[in-house]
Amino acid sequence: MNANYDYATIRNLAGEIMEEAHRAGILFPPMHSPHEAEAVIREEFDEYWDEVKKHNTSKPDRDTRPRQREELIQLAAMCVRAIIDTIDAPLAKPNQVSEQNGFSENFDVAALQRLRHGCSECPTEFGESTQVCIDAAQAALRANQDDSSSGGCI
> Are the C-beta atoms of 106 and 142 separated by less than 8 Å?
no
Each residue's pLDDT tens digit, 126-139:
444 444 455 555 56
CA 113 to chain CA centroid, Å, is 13
The model's pLDDT over 12-29, given as tens digits with 9 standing for 90+, comes to 999 999 999 999 999 999
Cα–Cα–Cα angle for 38, 106, 95, rounded to 5 degrees: 40
Q: DSSP secondary-structure letter at 119?
A: -
The three-state (H, E, C) secondary structure of the chain, written as one string: CCCCCCHHHHHHHHHHHHHHHHHHHHHCCCCCCHHHHHHHHHHHHHHHHHHHHHCCCCCHHHCCHHHHHHHHHHHHHHHHHHHHHHHHCCCCCCCECCHHHCCCCCCEHHHHHHCCCCCCCCCCCCCCCHHHHHHHHHHHHHCCCCCHHHCCCC
Q: What is the pLDDT of residues 23-61, one digit of tens each?
A: 999 999 999 999 999 999 999 999 999 999 999 988 878
Classify residue 14: in a domain, yes or no. Answer: yes
On whether residue 49 sits in a domain, the answer given is yes
Instruction: Please indicate, yes or no, if residue 151 is contained in any of the structural domains.
Output: no
Q: Is residue 139 part of a domain?
A: no
The range of the structural domain enclosing residue 89 comes to 7-94
Asked, for residue 121, whether it belongs to a domain, the answer is no
Q: What global pTM score does this model have?
A: 0.58
User: What is the tally of structural domains in the chain?
Assistant: 1
